[in-house]
Amino acid sequence: MKIHRLTAAAVLALAAACARGGDDGGAVKSRAPEPDTARGVYPGTASAAPWTALEPGGGGGVRLAADGTVSAGGRPFEPRLPLRDAAGSAVRYRISPPSPGARYAFVEGRVPDGASYLYVADLRGARLVPTHVLKYGPTDWVAYASTQPYGLLVSRQEGTAAFFAINLTDGTSKEVDFAALARKPKTAVVDEKTLRWKDGDTFTVSADVSCNAGLEDCRRDDGARAVAHAEVDLPSMAVRPLP
């Protein structure tokens, strides 16, 4: 799991968002984004999608206290985060880049066996809302819609990539079903780095379509790989195959 430092601008935006509280009269604006973030997209690379560690007693714009309290701009968040799991293992936390306007971010905690705790951080409301993806948590990649309160995360497990759309207001998490892109026994594995926003709440993405050679009904000529393309609408999660 790669963890990097947030840029100074991002940290200041996070802290400012929390300090403003529920004041919607002046939305917090971060510094002019890079070309990809202008579309609300943070590609899954270390340079473009840094998550930063949250360590008890650590510094930075968003802090984690020794009792599990997250705070920013002097405002404590509710609820407190568990610093150990039921087995007594320490939970290590990190926070994602914020959404456009610095209203939301994701906070993830992991234990030694890889299991993940995931929350939506409401940076103005000073609250943490539980949400979920697959057991072992999201990759470093994250994207946000610009006109709908949705964040997109990818969770990889056993060679598959599950694509989740998360309602940032209440934590509701739904896996986007790309089954329409491949007929059985073939499967479609989405490449999140190909995501592009068509408008504020619709995006396109490509997937690698192939046949698992271990399946009995996978014929030899099914082994060839192909690339499929789709358009996805938020919040309906409707997936439309593209030519």
The bridge status of strand 116-122 relative to strand 186-197 is unpaired
Q: What is the pTM of this model?
A: 0.79
Q: Report how far residue 46's alpha carbon sits from residue 59's, in angstroms, rounded to the nearest whole number.
A: 21
Please give the chain's pLDDT, 243 residues, in tens: 444 444 444 444 554 545 455 443 333 333 333 434 444 444 433 234 578 999 887 767 889 999 999 999 889 999 999 999 988 999 999 999 998 888 999 999 999 888 899 999 999 999 999 999 998 899 889 999 888 899 999 998 777 789 999 999 999 999 999 988 987 778 888 888 899 888 888 999 999 888 765 555 666 555 567 899 999 998 899 999 999
Q: If phi over 0 gives left and psi between -120 and 50 gives alpha, with beta otherwise, what is residue 88? A: left
Write the DSSP string, 58-94. --SSEEE-TTS-EEETTEEPBSPPPSB-TTSPBPEEE
